[in-house]
Amino acid sequence: MLRFQHSYHLFALALVPLFIILFTWMIYWRKKKLKKLGDEKLVMGQVLGFIPGRNTLKFALLALGFSFIAIGWANLQSADKSEKVQRKGVDVIFALDVSKSMLAKDVQPDRLTRAKQLISHIMDKMHNDRVGLIVFAGRSYMQVPLTVDYSAMKMMLQNANPDMVPTQGTVIGDAIDMAMQSFSKQERKYKSLVIISDGEDHDEQAIQKTKDAAETGVTIHTIGIGSPQGATLYDPVTKSVKLDETGNPVISKLNEDELKSIATAGHGVYYLLQNTDQVSDKLLNELDGMEQKSLGSVVFTDYTSYFQYFLIIGFIALLIEWMLPGVKKKAITI
């Protein structure tokens, strides 16, 4: 079986017919000019080293060289051997808190940025698991349904910010409901929800919703980000300290007790985000320890590339064209 590894590079071959049209027009235009000067054969006889058809040959070599280089660029390959591999994994949905309290800088550069870095770091070490992304504050929104397209997931993750959720607050229970709607209803295993938040929960039903989710086979892990001492919040527009109704600075503190309670009710674990590598490794160990479902098989094939042969022929054609001498007018002697 033959294939082109980068088939989109073959679109460059569409320029060849355009070059042929331009060259044909140039030949016609030159003959028209020569007829105005006199008999064409006599005029061409004044050209030193004129050989009929040489310009056409040089153009053909240029077109041939360009075509072979374009084909080499696309890299023609042949399949050598194939191997069928069974894939196994779990479904993991990340629920990311994007409330304005996540802009606190008690964790550098801020809580939200560190949380996004953690998710990206975890995905770098994943292979077959399906992942999804929910952002939540006062309400929850599904940003990425369960997928194996990690690149798309990372792109949406980088764009996560408090402006995505107009209703402020931290309602973890709403994020749990959203995740439950995304997981398969037919399976009672292979499902995990990872909640990353500072724990400033305004939802009294979060624990009960966690227990309900656990009964359907969903394991819920929580990751706390921030510090118990807290940090003042700044308005991202005015850059000034946010004040409460009494005029005092608003302090946002990590609520570990809430996150630990959710993890316990969800048959999961709680981690405080201090070292990104350590937390990601511990969480991945938990996910890898879950019973995994079959995600079907994938066929890996080894290919042999032949791009070098096309490039060699193309460069040889261009070299020959360059070495062919051009023509010039005869010197007039008196």
pLDDT at residue 83 is higher than 80: no
**Based on C-alpha coordinates, what's the Rg of the chain?**
33
Which backbone phi and psi does 134 adopt, to 5 degrees? -120, 135
| pLDDT at position 134 over 70 | yes
Q: What is the pLDDT of residue 52?
A: 65
Distance CA 66, CA 140 (A): 54
pLDDT band at 330 (very low <50, low <70, confident <90, very high): very low
CATH 3.40.50.410 fits 86-296, yes or no: yes
Compare 84 and 222 and report the one with higher pLDDT.
Answer: 222
User: What is the pLDDT at residue 205?
Assistant: 87
User: How confident is the model at residue 111, as a pLDDT?
Assistant: 95
Task: Compute the distance between CA of residue 312 and CA of residue 333 in angstroms, rounded to an integer.
Answer: 45
What integer pLDDT is reported at residue 50 of this predicted model? 54
Q: What pLDDT is attached to residue 223?
A: 97
pLDDT at 185: 79
Nearest-angstrom CA–CA distance, 141 and 174: 9
Mean per-residue pLDDT, 175-183? 93
pLDDT tens, residue by residue, 281-313: 999 999 988 877 766 655 556 778 999 999 999
Q: What is the pLDDT of residues 206-259, one digit of tens each?
A: 999 999 999 999 999 999 999 988 888 877 677 778 777 777 888 889 999 999
Tell me where in the chain the CATH 3.40.50.410 domain(s) lie.
Answer: 86-296
pLDDT value for 238: 72
So what's the pLDDT on residue 333? Answer: 42
Give residues with Cβ within 8 angstroms of 187, minimum separation 6.
217, 293
Position 232 scores a pLDDT of 86
**Residue 34 confidence class, pLDDT cut points 50, 70, 90:** low
